[in-house]
Structure 1
Amino acid sequence: MYEEPIFLEPFFQDRIWGGRKLRTFFGYDIPSDKTGEAWVISAHKNGPSIIANGLLKGKNLLEAWNDNPLLFGKEQGCGEFPLLVKILDANESLSVQVHPDTDYAKEMEDMPYGKAECWYVLDCEPDSRIILGHRAESREDFRKRVDAEQWDELLLPLAVKKGDFFYIPCGTVHAIGKGIMVVEIQQSSDITYRVYDYNRITDEGETRELHIQSAIDVINFPHHPVLPSKTAVNDGDLASMQLIKESYFTVYHWKINGKVKTPLKRDYLLISVIAGAGEISVNGQSFLLEKGSHFILPSTVKTYGISGKLELLVTHE
């Protein structure tokens, strides 16, 4: 029986807005100076993570999910892996965009999931901003402002700082601004409708495709900000903050200073080490944890211990 953490190697994606911080911040061996995304826990066909240890070493997470569903407390034919964890390095601003919900994704894109997501800000430059929402009252109003390129009047900017957390429901207009690095936890979807891309030019000398009509079809009108209710629990050497609890995902920030031992209370956990170092112990085995480690605790792990001084983002369905 597979009774150990499943450590994963990132799948890197070059982006027009990417940079080098995935190397300087985490020490990753990135493929280029335009590396924008590390898909660190991914079973998506467009970028599955590779398993780095144990009996499944060398397989990707998509294969593990399909071939070994009991590791995740599931039965054969349980559908697609529901979650995706990324790290994004916005060396330049991302496009202003929106994502559909699951019903729209199934009907119009023949995809199993929409894309609700959330961001934990790992680092940012002074005066960094995101876009989160719009001022339009209706689809007609939104289209009119887009056609007139009234971006400053239409879009809602928001200042950010390290440690901030944001929830972006499906249908929310958004963009990560220049100089920001986030962990993005989302439904396992790669559907994006671009609204505005700053008229920038690709290396091929072309502008990137926009998806104005699809975006307008799925945008929420009017915009209503959603502020997650956070819950803090201190238990010995563990300070836990529940950042969000939604139907798609529940996310915690854990700060450990010492030793924590606990049973696995979910079918599986997705865990990312975002600061510090330590180790995890399972069934008499110990595994090093350091900033940039990402792993899954499968359902076959009954009890585990984590020790050291470190910060984690922990996610489950």
Structure 2
Amino acid sequence: MYPIKFENLYYERIWGGNGLEKFRNNVPKGIIGESWDIACHKNGTGVVANGELKGKTFNEIIEVYGDELLGTEIDKKEFPLLIKLITAKDKLSVQVHPNDEYANRVEKDLGKTEAWYVIDAEEGASLIVGTKNCDKEKFKKAIESGDLDKYLNKISVKKGDFFYVQSGLVHAICGGVLIAEIQQSSDTTYRVYDYNRGRELHVEKALDVIDFNLKGENSKGTLIKKDGYDKTYLCLSEYFTIQKYDIKKIAKERSDTNRFYLFTCVEGNGLIKYSCGEEKIFMGDSIFIPATLGDYELIGEFKLLKSYIPNL
């Protein structure tokens, strides 16, 4: 096994921007809003971009390598995570995602809890995370009257901010940001309000799943200084754990036979060195660390998000 990269899957969105073109040369023409970089979902499945498995789909290599690839504690039937980069020139819809129970029953999909790391943000950029001063009835009336703003918790953001967005939390990415999104492997979204852009809304389902008690906050995490790098524990949930690595020189790591790891480079460039070779990591890359890779080193001056399924 070796560190695996996948081809970027690009998707046009009416709110898309050009943030990806600043560090990639393979972005297609059009209003690109999302790049799915590690994905194994019915609406988008990655194809291996490097090494001896190049050209194989994610599904194919899971079927062949199973535990060796994903780890002994990971369900092989449904890959649990999806890594995206989101570039927004305009506002996304005000939306919400269902939990696992509702999504499985109504949509035959996983629920969607996600996390946002702000890779870059223009001056004055913001995100909507949660509601304020309202309940279901007030919110419903505000949707009907088009007067939602007063009930939306809008937060100014900057590079390096992090938000944990639970299923049931009303949210929206606004214009002028580049986001790394780590999420459950789901593509179920209920739009509450879409700024009169003519797209389908899902108000009834949204009102079913919104939890007005949830709050969205900028998480600073817990910083641990190591020799050669800093590690910040950003979140621990039943769906995923996320840590930020600020590599100053080198970080020595070892894979876990119980689970895979995912690394997403959010600043700078570096190198992963392992027993049989090395793999370069560039800004914006996501890379899959197989459960049986063994010892490896992260070398350079760069920042990474490490995502994985915890053992709770």
Q: Does 1:181 align with 2:178?
A: yes
Q: Residues 1-317 of structure 1: matches in 2 within 5 Å?
A: 3-24=1-22, 26-70=23-67, 71-74=69-72, 78-111=76-109, 113-135=110-132, 137-200=134-197, 207-225=198-216, 228=219, 230-265=221-256, 267-317=259-309
SS at match of 1:161: coil
Instruction: Output the CA distance in 1 between the equivalents of 2:308 and 2:137.
Output: 39
* Deviation, structure 1 residue 139: 2.0
Q: Tell me the distance in 2 between the aligned counterparts of 1:239 and 1:311.
A: 9
RMSD, aligned CA: 1.7
* Alignment deviations for residues 3-55 of structure 1 (CA, whole Å, 9 cap, x no partner): 2111122100110011222112x214112230000001111121112211223
Aligned equivalents of 1:221, 1:253: Cα separation in 2: 29
Tell me the distance in 2 between the aligned counterparts of 1:227 and 1:48: 31
Greater alpha carbon shift after TM alignment, 296-305 vs 62-71: 62-71
Give yes or no for contact 1:136–1:142 (8 Å, CA) kept in 2. Answer: no
- Paired position in structure 2 for 1:204: none
Aligned counterparts of 2:299 and 2:216: Cα–Cα separation in 1: 37
Which letter maps to 2:15?
Answer: W
Alignment partners' CA distance in 2, 1:77 and 1:231:
29
- Verify the 8 A CA contact 1:99 1:192 in the aligned structure 2: yes
Distance (whole Å) between structure 2 residues aligned to residue 17 and residue 224 of structure 1? 25
Distance in 2 (alpha carbons) for counterparts of 1:309 and 1:135: 40
Partner of 1:203: none
Q: Which amino acid aligns with 1:145?
A: A
Q: Structure 1: which 5+ runs fail to align? A: 201-206
Letter in 2 for 1:299: A
Task: Please state how far the C-alpha of 1:252 moved relative to its aligned partner.
Answer: 0.8
Tell me, which stretches of 5 or more residues in structure 2 are unaligned?
Answer: none
Q: In the aligned structure 2, how far is the partner of 1:136 from the partner of 1:58? A: 51
Counterpart amino acid of 2:221? Answer: K
User: Residue 136 of structure 1 contacts residue 221 of structure 1 at CA under 8 Å; is this kept in 2?
Assistant: no
| Partner SS, residue 108 of structure 1 | helix
Distance 2:24 2:219 in 1: 32
Q: Deviations over 1:62-81 (max 9, x none)?
A: 33223321211148973200
CA deviation after TM superposition for structure 1 residue 289, in Å: 1.9
Distance in 2 of aligned mates of 1:235 and 1:76: 29
DSSP-derived class of the 1:253 partner: strand
Contact 1:137 1:222 survives alignment (8 Å) = no
CA distance in 1, matches of 2:220, 2:74: 35
1:270–1:315 Cα contact (<8 Å) kept: yes
Output the TM-score relative to the length of structure 2.
0.93
CA displacement at 1:166 relative to structure 2? 0.5
Identity %: 39
**In 2, are the aligned partners of 1:197 and 1:208 still within 8 Å (CA)?**
yes
* Structure 1 pair 178–300 and aligned structure 2 pair: CA distance change class (3 A): same
Q: Please, which moves more after superposition, 114-123 or 142-151?
A: 142-151
Which TM-score applies when normalising by structure 1? 0.92
> Do 1:20 and 1:33's aligned partners in 2 also have CA atoms closer than 8 Å?
no
Residue 139 of structure 2 aligns to a residue whose secondary structure is helix
1:74-128 per-position Cα deviation (integer Å, ceiling 9, x unaligned): 48973200000100001111000000000001111111x1000010001111111
Amino acid at match of 2:290: P
Cα 1:173/1:28, change in 2 over 3 Å: farther
Amino acid of the structure 2 residue aligned with 1:134: T
Paired residues, number: 307
